[in-house]
Structure 1
Amino acid sequence: MSDSRKVRKIHFYIVAIVTAFFSIFSAVVMTEPGQSLNLPRSWTVAYYHYSEYFIALNMALLAYLWYLHTKAKLWTNRRMRWASKGVLVCIISANFLLSLLFPPRQTDAIYMTVAQANNQLRKEEIIYAVEINGDVRGFPRSHLRIPHIAGDTIGGEEVAMTFCGLSNLPVVIDQDIGHGEKADLGILIQTHNNLVMVERNSGDLIQQITMETEFGESDIKQYPNTMMTWEAFKEIYPDAEVFIYPFDRWMDKLLVKAFDKPMEKQFDPERGAIFPTLDMADERLNAKEQVWGLNSDGKQIAFTHEFAKQNPVYEFEMAGKPYVLVYSEEYDIVNLFSLEKEGQRVTFGEINFKGETDSEWGRLEQVPTQNGIFWMVWSHWFPETKLMS
Structure 2
Amino acid sequence: MTPPPDRLTEIAERAEAVLLGFDGPICSVFAGKSAPSIAADLRQLILSHGVELPDELRDQDDPVELFRATTALAPQLADTISAALEAAEVQAAATAETTIGAFDVVRACVATGRALAIVSNNSTAAISRYLGRRDRARYFTAIIGRGERPDLMKPSPIPVAQALQALNVRPSAAVLVGDSTTDIEAAHAAGVPCIGYANKPGKDERLAVAGADAIVTDMSDLAAVLASTRRPQSRLPWVESGGGPLIVVPTSALTTWRGASADFDPGDLDTWGDYGRACQIDGYAGSLDTGDDQALVLGDEPASTTYLSDQRLFIRWIYADSEEDVIRLIPKAVETAGWEEAGTWTTSGPARLFDSTLAGDELEHEHHLTVDVAPGTYLIRTAYVEPEDGTALVLVHLAEQTLQLERV
TM range (shorter): under 0.3
**TM-score where L is the length of structure 1:** 0.24
Structure richer in strand, relative to its length:
1
Structure richer in helix, relative to its length:
2
